Structure formats: C-alpha cells, structure tokens
Structure 1
C-alpha cells in the first residue's frame, strides 16, 4: 500500500495542515508524527500553527460578537 519511493519526500502542504489540525485536537497518529519529525521542517509547522491559532481566535471573536449583536447587547 505505501509507496517506498515516497518515504523520503517532505510532507505536502495538505499533510502539514492535517498534522497541525490533528495536533490542535491531540489526535495525531504515530505514523504521521514520525513522518513529520523525520522529513518535515519545523519552521513550516510553526508558521502553520501560528496561522491556525490566529484564525481560530478570530473565528471565536466573530462568533462572540455575533452572539452579542443578536442578544442586543
């Protein structure tokens, strides 16, 4: 099933995004974690993590503002 020629390829953007999302929820698989640590660049994961966190906070603020607006506060 696994392509042995793909073992030394760096993770794709979608694989890195999946890893960041899985890390946010604490459900990263051992196989993906090993791939990330052996072939991924830490700077890419750090930047994606910061962007994800900023977007998450902005979405929460938007939801809170919408709820306050609908409540008439």
Structure 2
C-alpha cells in the first residue's frame, strides 16, 4: 500500500504513539508514506488537548471538594 495515510490513520497513529502501542506495520507506513508535518501538527494538537482536559478535570475536582 503506497497511498498516503488518511486523516484518521494519522490521528490513530499519533494516539497509539502517545500510549506506546504503535504496530510495526503502521510505523513503517507512517515513515514510508506520511508527511512529518502532519504528524507534528497532530501531535501538538493532541498534547494541547490533553493539557486542557487535565486542567478542566482538576478545576472540576477542586470545585467538588469546595476549594
């Protein structure tokens, strides 16, 4: 398969790499046919989203605790 990875394949590859469970076949596909910029931007977006979710969860937990 020499097609470029789709948006969803790129997203799933980034999520799998966040968890450290990327398959060798997908890793090879990403390095062979993917564009690095797509993975970098997706990774930065996912990292920012993760930080925002953690902040919101902490604020919610603190409000429940009455702090």
TM-score (norm 1): 0.91
Aligned residue for 1:8, secondary structure, equals: coil
Name the residue aligned to 1:26. 20
Name the residue aligned to 1:47. 41
State how many pairs are aligned. Answer: 67
5+ residue gaps, structure 2, are none
Which 4+ runs in 1 deviate beyond 3 A?
none
5+ residue gaps, structure 1, are 1-6
Give the number of the structure whose alpha-carbon radius of gyration is greater: 1
TM-score (norm 2): 0.99
